[in-house]
């Protein structure tokens, strides 16, 4: 009887060891702090694109990323975030008194996971704004039907992607997600 129990204990010990190894590996792979950000924070060369929660929930992220890559952008950093109201409000603060949909934009950004990317290209901010298209998808569908917002946007709030407005804001927005937000994870 003693010899029958030994293999069972060995199998249990192996199972426990394997589970611990798998947990360590899983924690390393999925822990955003396990590896430093690849963001470059290069002024004039980077912009931030955020795939909004509604587009993530509708499984449009892959198509959006494919299109970004097809247009020649280099993705230098990419991370999934779930923003709380405070973080979304801070990120979108510049729109507070400018855009009537500000509260809706904040609510959308904290409605589920979003995907933030630092994109690099020559004239990155303006190039990505052109790819994103007008902020109103209905307008985009008429005047720029091949843009991301025309194809994946629903309305002015759920317009598929956020894009950096001004060239001088590219680095600031990248730092928000890939530096400042790293401390909150």
Question: Of 167, 158, 91, whose CA–CA distance to 129 is shortest?
Answer: 167
Contact 76, 153 (CB under 8 A): no
Active-site residue, 142 included: no
Local structure of residue 168 (DSSP, 8 states): G
Kindly name the residue from 54, 70, 142, 162 that is annotated as catalytic. Answer: 162
**C-alpha separations of 174 from 43, 91, 125 in Å:** 10, 11, 12
Question: Of 162, 164, 168, whose CA–CA distance to 83 is shortest?
Answer: 162
- Written as one string, the DSSP assignment of 90-144 is HHTGGGTTT-TTHHHHHHHHTSS-EEEEEEE-TTHHHHHHHHH--SSHHHHHHH-
Tell me, rounded to whole angstroms, the distance of Cα 75 from its chain centroid.
Answer: 11
- Active site residues per annotation: 162
């Amino acid at each position: 009887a003693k010899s029958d129990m030994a293999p069972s204990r060995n199998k249990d010990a192996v199972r426990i060891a394997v589970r611990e190894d798998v947990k360590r590996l899983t924690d390393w792979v999925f822990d955003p702090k396990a590896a430093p950000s690849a963001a470059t924070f290069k002024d004039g060369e980077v912009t931030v694109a955020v795939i909004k929660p509604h587009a993530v929930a509708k499984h449009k992220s892959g198509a959006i990323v494919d299109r970004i890559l097809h247009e020649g952008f280099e993705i230098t950093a990419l991370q999934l975030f779930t923003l709380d109201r405070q973080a979304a409000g801070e990120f979108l603060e510049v729109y507070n008194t400018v855009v009537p949909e500000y509260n809706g934009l904040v609510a959308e950004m904290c409605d589920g996971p979003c995907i933030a990317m630092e994109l690099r290209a020559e004239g990155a901010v303006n190039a990505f704004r052109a790819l994103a298209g007008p902020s109103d998808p209905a307008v985009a569908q008429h005047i720029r039907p091949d843009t991301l917002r025309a194809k994946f946007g629903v309305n002015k709030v759920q317009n598929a992607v956020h894009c950096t407005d001004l060239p001088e804001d590219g680095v600031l927005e990248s730092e928000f997600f890939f530096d400042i937000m790293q401390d909150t994870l």
